[in-house]
């Protein structure tokens, strides 16, 4: 499967052209991407800190997650949709960008960490819901989540500074028989 050809196809699509050619679409999509990311990190980091025992264990973990995680998912949905739109407009450049690839890896790691916590670690979470220190596995999940999400934000912002003049994309035009 030629991923570069797929990226080229996405970039040539009507929606990609519409985003590129509009003065307003790019910045507005970008703003909502940032709002989505802020919502994800702002809420997930409070849950992560609670898992780590900050500021304490006095507030019920189930209440904290119940109140916050729905906002995490709303933020994630906003960030995902806007992220896909931004990728669409310039797919080939993102595809070859190392920081973009690393960001996807960090996102995947954050997801795997979440699934391990939800499916295994949190099975007996009712035993350490309130006024009891969280087990080491839960603390580890919280710490890893913070690290992975900071990495996602760091790499995401770094993309903007690294997709400059990139001569790595192979030339597909037949330069021998031009005319």
Partner 1 sequence: MRFFKSLLAAALSGAVAIAALTLPTQAHHSFAMFDGSQIKVFTGVVVRINPDANHLQIFFAPLDEERKAVLRNEAGEPVIWAVEMGGSAAVARDGISVNGFPPGTIFSTGLHPLRNGQPAGDRGSSGLFKCPEKTPPAAGMHCDSVEGSTAHGEGVMPQEGALAEEYNPDAQ
Closest CB to partner 1 among residues 34, 140: 34
**CA-CA distance, 143 to 52, in Å (whole number)?**
7
Least distance between partner 1 and beta carbon 50 (Å): 21
CB 80 within 8 A of CB 153: no
Closest CB to partner 1 among residues 30, 45: 30
**Residues contacting residue 66 through CB under 8 Å, at least 6 positions apart:** none
| Token representation of residue 165 | 């003049």
Least distance between partner 1 and beta carbon 169 (Å): 6
Closest CB to partner 1 among residues 18, 63: 18
Least distance between partner 1 and beta carbon 153 (Å): 17
Return phi, psi of residue 15, to 5°.
-70, -35
Which residues make up the interface to partner 1 (CB under 8 A)? Answer: 11-12, 17, 20-28, 30-32, 34-35, 89-90, 92-93, 163, 165-167, 169, 171-173, 175, 178-179
Q: Smallest Cα–Cα separation from 102: which of 164, 157, 29?
A: 157
Closest CB to partner 1 among residues 34, 143: 34
């Amino acid at each position: 499967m030629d991923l570069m050809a797929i990226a080229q196809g996405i970039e040539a699509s009507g929606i990609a052209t519409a985003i590129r050619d509009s003065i307003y679409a790019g910045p507005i999509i970008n703003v909502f991407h940032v709002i989505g990311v802020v919502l994800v990190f702002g809420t997930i980091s409070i849950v992560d800190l609670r898992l780590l025992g900050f500021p304490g264990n006095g507030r019920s973990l189930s209440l904290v997650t119940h109140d916050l995680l729905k906002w995490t998912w709303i933020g994630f949905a906003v960030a995902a949709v806007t992220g896909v739109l931004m990728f669409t407009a310039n797919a080939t450049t993102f595809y070859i960008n190392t920081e973009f690839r690393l960001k996807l890896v960090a996102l995947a790691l954050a997801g795997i960490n979440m699934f391990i916590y939800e499916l295994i670690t949190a099975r007996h979470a009712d035993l350490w819901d309130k006024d009891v220190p969280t087990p080491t596995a839960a603390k580890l999940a919280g710490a890893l989540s913070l690290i992975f999400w900071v990495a996602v934000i760091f790499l995401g912002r770094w993309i903007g500074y690294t997709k400059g003049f990139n001569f790595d994309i192979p030339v597909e035009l037949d330069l021998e028989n031009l005319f």
